[in-house]
Amino acid sequence: MDDRLRKLLSNPYRVIIIKSIGVEGSTFSEIKKKTGLSTGTIYHHINVMSDLIYKERRKYYLSKSGKKVYSLLESGEFFLDKYKEPIINLDIVIKVLFLSKLFKLLYESRMLPILSGILGGVLLYSSVRYNVGFILFRPINRPIIPGILLTISSLITILSIYTIHIYFSVGTEFSWIEWLNLWLIAFIPLAVLATIPFLFYMLYINNKYLFSIIQFIAAFYLAIAMSVSSGLKIDRSLAVSGFLLFIGQIIG
């Protein structure tokens, strides 16, 4: 087995997904029941293992290469500890910069609702205190009530568009709790980065170029958070964020 395949299977989640599919194939519900993994995690790893797994109608099957891997796993000829990743490589650097590991940990954490609630309170206080609202990712000066209504409407719009896209692009196997966690994890990069304009207004800084950078960063990390949590392919997630960023510039 080559190093590329060893690296691919160095994640134990991928191994148990392959084993759960087996030679006869499994539906998504069966994979989820056998592995105990979240919907987004399963979709993500299935996408990564596209050379080993394919879908036909409602069931997932192992490809010819996938069946060979399955046979090796079952026979015990392949051991996970035979492959060791380098201490530092490009993939690790990218994961650190993209905060993908952090978003995944938050998504699986029981602290997610609490953290989202705290950030929501900070965002609401800042909106009231400094008369700042948002049109999608774009910060704007508005009186308190219109500013809050625009911010809430923007959050609902962003979450709705992502929800629809995930529903049709990824699948329909998410439980209501998983949907709730997806919405909460999406709120975190938006709320954290939304506080930056408030700091600028406090310091009487009004630079449109800085605000443009903030909007880009918010859109980028929202795409990362949604991709990591839902299993949505990163290019599609970035496309949705880019579309929302573009619409916000037009409306604003």
Per the prediction, the chain carries an average pLDDT of: 80
Over residues 222-240, mean pLDDT: 87
Residues 15 and 139 in one domain: no
Residues 131 and 69 in one domain: no
Assign 2 a pLDDT band (cuts: 50, 70, 90): low
Domain boundary among the residues 57, 85, 113 is at: 85
Domain boundary among the residues 85, 117, 141 is at: 85
Domain boundary among the residues 85, 119, 153 is at: 85
Question: H or E element: which one contains 134?
Answer: strand 132-135
pLDDT of residue 50: 86
Read off the pLDDT of residues 134-165 as tens digits, 9 standing for 90 and up: 788 877 777 878 878 888 888 899 999 999 99
Classify each residue of 165-179 as buried b or exposed e, where b means 16 or more C-beta atoms within 10 Å of its C-beta.
Answer: bbeeebbeebeeebb
Residues 116 and 198 in one domain: yes
Read off the pLDDT of residues 35-51 as tens digits, 9 standing for 90 and up: 888 888 888 888 889 88
Which of 91-100, 127-136, 153-162, 199-208 is the most confident on average? 153-162
Nearest Cα residue to 19 out of 56, 58, 45: 45
pLDDT of residue 142: 76
Q: What CATH number does residue 81 fall under?
A: 1.10.10.10
Tell me which of 20 and 85 has the higher pLDDT. Answer: 20
Whole-angstrom distance, CA of residue 119 vs CA of residue 218: 15
Residues 98 and 74 in one domain: no
Residues 179 and 218 in one domain: yes
Share of residues in the chain with pLDDT > 90 (%): 10
- Cα dihedral 22, 23, 28, 30, rounded to 10, equals -60
Residue 36, CA distances (Å) to 32, 112, 184 in order:
5, 20, 21
pLDDT of residue 161: 92
Instruction: Please tell me the total count of domains within the chain.
Output: 2
Tell me which of 179 and 5 has the higher pLDDT. Answer: 179
Q: Which residues form the domain of 54?
A: 3-85
Residues 105 and 206 in one domain: yes
Tell me which of 34 and 169 has the higher pLDDT. Answer: 34
pLDDT of residue 1: 55
